[in-house]
Amino acid sequence: MKPIIYLLILLSPLIIQAQEKNKYQVRTIAFYNLENLFDTKNDTLIFDDDRTPEGKDGWTQERYLKKIENLSKVIVQIGKINTNATPDIIGVCEVENKSVLIDLTNHPNLKEKNYGIVHFDSPDERGIDVGLLYSKSAFIPTSFASHRLLLFNDDGERDYTRDQLVVEGMLDTEKMYFIINHWPSRSGGELRSRPFRLEAAKLNKRIIDSLKRYDPNAKIIAMGDFNDDPVDHSFKKILKVKGKIKQLDSMSLFGPMEKMYKKGMGSLAYRDKWNIFDQIYFTSNFVQPPEGSYAYWKAGIYTPSYIIDPKGKYKGYPLRTYAGGNYVGGYSDHFPVYMHLIKKVY
C-alpha cells in the first residue's frame, strides 16, 4: 500500500496557527535504460555474441547477476526521497527478453514489491526490447499491444528496430495509457539518423491520436529513451510537446524535461555534452485534471552519487557496466527519470 503524504495548508493568512492536514495519494512513474541487459546464453537469432561468456565482453553469469543486483538497487530507490516508496510503473529498454526481467523482478531487492511484467519480443537487430514493470497493488493492465516501426535505409532495405509498447490499465481506479519507447540511435551521426527518429515520432503521434479518438479524455503518459532531446525536431515539430504549462491547451502534450535540459541537466553524457534522451511527457489533462483524479506533481532525474563514475575519463558520467571496453561493474550509461502523480484523498 502506497503511503499517504500529508501537506499542511493554511486555512487563512489571518489565522496563522489554524492548520489542517490534507491527505494526498502519490504514485511514481519511472523510466530506466538498463544498458544491454542480456542473459549469458547465445541466441542464434540475434546479435548477442558479445554478451556471452566466450564473447568479447566476457559476459559471465557472475557479471550478469551483479548487473541484476545493481539495477534492482537503483529501481527500488527511484523517487523514494519524495514518497518513501518504490515506483509503481517502470518503463525499461535495452532488455534482451522477458527472462531477464523475470530475474530482475525476482531479485531480493524487488521480489517483495510484487512487480508484474508486460513485454513483447521486438525485431531489433541488436536483440533489445522495451518493457513495462508495474506494481500489482497499484496497477491492473487491461490491454497491451506492440506497434511496429517500419524503417528502410537508402538502399530500400529494412532497418530493424524496437517496437513501441502500449499498455492500457487501471492505476487504482483511474484508466491510463502508457507508451514505452526506444527510438533509433544516432549511429552514423545525428543528421544522418534523424529521419528514423522522425518516423518514430510520427508513429508515436499516430498512437496518441488513435487513443484520443477512441477515448477523448484519455490520460496518456509516454516515456522512453528517444535519442533526441526535448528541443529537437521530433518533439517540437512532430509531437508538438510543450515545455511550459502556460502554453498548454486541451490537445497539448507537456514535457517537464525541457526545462531541465535548458538548465544544463542530463540523463546521459557523450564527449562531455549532456543530453536528456530519457524523457517522460503526457497529455495536458494531467496538469489540470478533474477533482479527485491524478495530477502531475513533479519530475526529476535520479542521480545518487553511487551511480555516478567517481574518477577517470568518465568522471561525473553515469557509472556504466563497461567503459572504454573494460568491465567496471557499474549500473547503466543512463540515469533513470521519473515523475510523481498526486491526488487528494477524501
Whole-number pLDDT of residue 8: 36
Residue 99's SS3 state is: helix
Q: What burial class does residue 79 get, using C-beta atoms within 10 Å of its C-beta: 0-12 exposed, 13-18 middle, 19+ buried?
A: buried
Cβ atoms 7, 342 nearer than 8 A: no
DSSP letter for 318, please. B
Q: In the chain, how many H helices and how many E strands?
A: 6, 20
Residue 76's SS3 state is: coil
**How many CA atoms lie within 13 Å of 290's alpha carbon, on the beta-carbon side?**
5
Cβ atoms 309, 319 nearer than 8 A: yes
DSSP letter for 232, please. S
Cβ atoms 41, 177 nearer than 8 A: no
Whole-number pLDDT of residue 1: 44
**How many CA atoms lie within 13 Å of 95's alpha carbon, on the beta-carbon side?**
28
Whole-number pLDDT of residue 123: 93
Cβ atoms 340, 286 nearer than 8 A: no
Whole-number pLDDT of residue 44: 77
Helix (H) or strand (E) holding 198: helix 190-214
Query: In which residue are the cell numbers 575519463 written?
Result: 313
Cβ atoms 342, 333 nearer than 8 A: no
Q: What angle do CA 200, 206, 211 make, to 5 degrees?
A: 130
One pLDDT digit (tens) per residue for the chain, 346 residues: 455 454 433 322 222 233 457 788 999 999 999 999 999 998 877 878 888 999 999 999 999 999 999 999 999 999 999 999 999 999 999 999 999 999 999 999 999 999 999 999 999 988 999 999 999 999 999 999 999 999 998 888 899 999 999 999 999 999 999 999 999 999 999 999 999 999 999 999 999 999 999 999 999 999 999 999 999 999 999 999 999 999 999 899 999 999 999 999 999 999 889 999 999 999 999 998 888 899 999 999 999 999 999 999 999 999 999 998 899 999 999 999 999 999 988 7
Task: Name the maximum alpha-carbon separation found in the chain.
Answer: 74
Whole-number pLDDT of residue 20: 53
Q: Is the pTM of this model over 0.85?
A: yes
Cβ atoms 119, 131 nearer than 8 A: yes
Cβ atoms 269, 229 nearer than 8 A: no
Whole-number pLDDT of residue 153: 87
Q: Measured between alpha carbons, how far is 248 from 281 in angstroms, rounded to an integer?
A: 13
Q: Measured between alpha carbons, how far is 36 from 57 in angstroms, rounded to an integer?
A: 11
